[in-house]
Amino acid sequence: MTASEGFAPAKINLTLHVTGRREDGYHELDSLVVFADIGDRLRLRESETTMLTVDGPMAAGVPADASNLVVKAARLMGLSADIHLEKHLPNAAGLGGGSSDAAATLKALSEMSGKPLPEGLLGLGADIPVCLHGRAARMRGVGEAITPVAGLPELHAVLVNPKLPVMTREVFAGLERADNPAMPEELPKFDDAGALVEWLATMRNDLEAPAMQAEPVIQQVFDVLSVTPGCHLTRMSGSGGTCFGLYSDAETAASAAGRLREQHPSWWVEAVRLNASEP
């Protein structure tokens, strides 16, 4: 096979507990991760040299050189390809877009060549292992410990990003403490989405406060989203600045998204399903 396509879904941290800091400076995390039914798309063809082109509605500011994780992923595979990336997810948004793009590239190149995935993938980024998994999972450590979470209910959500990149390093630097409590050792079983949302409300994203301090507009996004009709829970994903609201059904989520687009036409707003591929 000389060509392949890939889908790189948005990664959503339903929870994100910062539980420690290692001697090498990396933070220990405990996070419940799911994926949305929207994302970036990739097309790959065998080539003598690796080339990356980027377009799409969110392509502005995305590098097409060797600094892009897609190019780094191809080099780690030891393969050359002509890669086209169609960007639908905002950049540096807490949605794991770059990591998801890299994971999709790795999968596509493995499929094209028959080569197994290489070692050292965590060096591409902490979200690479969970993005390779691509389904609901608990992510611990510095991102290397992935535990599948089966049977998690599908959720209806609205994602909102003010189109302002948020630097992860700056957010972590603003943490008041890094030794916060983890999630329960055994996660509950949820009969329906309502039970899941109720439990999520007792959990946290420890990066919300430092992210809002670094970029106050995230607080505005959070506040505006939280008062949309039918919103049961508002939270930030990853290190920001995308926030999400959870709703009872797709119609309510779509109505909230429409209202937000009218009120804030410069923001990126999408109604999505989370964990839609899970049984």
- Domain ranges for the chain: 3-145, 150-274
CA separation, residue 231 to residues 156, 195, 245 (Å): 10, 15, 6
What's the rounded Cα separation, in Å, for the pair 12 and 244?
9
Specify the CATH number for 150-274; select among 1.10.10.10, 3.40.50.170, 3.90.420.10, 3.30.70.890: 3.30.70.890
Q: 3-145: which CATH architecture?
A: 2-Layer Sandwich (3.30)
pLDDT score of 192 more than 90: yes
Q: How remote is the C-alpha of 278 from its chain's centroid?
A: 17
Angle at 139 between CA 88 and CA 41, to 5 degrees: 20
User: Averaged over 120-149, what is the pLDDT?
Assistant: 94
Catalytic pick among 30, 101, 127, 206: 127
Q: Which tokens go with 272?
A: 């999505």
The reported pLDDT for the residue numbered 5 is 95
Predicted confidence band of residue 271 (pLDDT cuts 50, 70, 90): very high
Query: pLDDT of 144-177, one tens digit each?
Result: 999 999 999 999 999 999 999 898 889 999 999 9
Query: 249 catalytic, yes or no?
Result: no
Rg over alpha carbons for the chain, rounded to the nearest Å, is 18
Report the phi/psi class of residue 94: left, alpha or beta, with left for phi > 0 and alpha for psi in -120 to 50.
left
40 Cβ contact partners less than 8 Å away, ≥ 6 residues apart: 7, 8, 56, 85, 86, 87, 88, 89, 97, 100, 101, 104
Predicted confidence band of residue 216 (pLDDT cuts 50, 70, 90): very high
Predicted confidence band of residue 122 (pLDDT cuts 50, 70, 90): confident
Query: 11 catalytic, yes or no?
Result: yes
pLDDT score of 119 more than 90: no
Predicted confidence band of residue 278 (pLDDT cuts 50, 70, 90): low
User: Averaged over 189-214, what is the pLDDT?
Assistant: 97
CB 223 within 8 A of CB 212: no
Catalytic pick among 11, 72, 87, 107: 11
**Residue type at 247 in one-letter notation:** Y
Query: pLDDT of 73-109, one tens digit each?
Result: 999 999 999 999 999 999 989 999 999 999 999 999 9
CB 257 within 8 A of CB 158: yes
Average pLDDT in the chain: 95
Is the pTM higher than 0.85? The answer reads: yes
Q: Which tokens go with 105?
A: 């590239």
Same fold, 3-145 and 150-274: no
155-161 and 243-247: which strand pairing? Answer: antiparallel
The reported pLDDT for the residue numbered 120 is 81
pLDDT score of 202 more than 90: yes
The reported pLDDT for the residue numbered 117 is 94
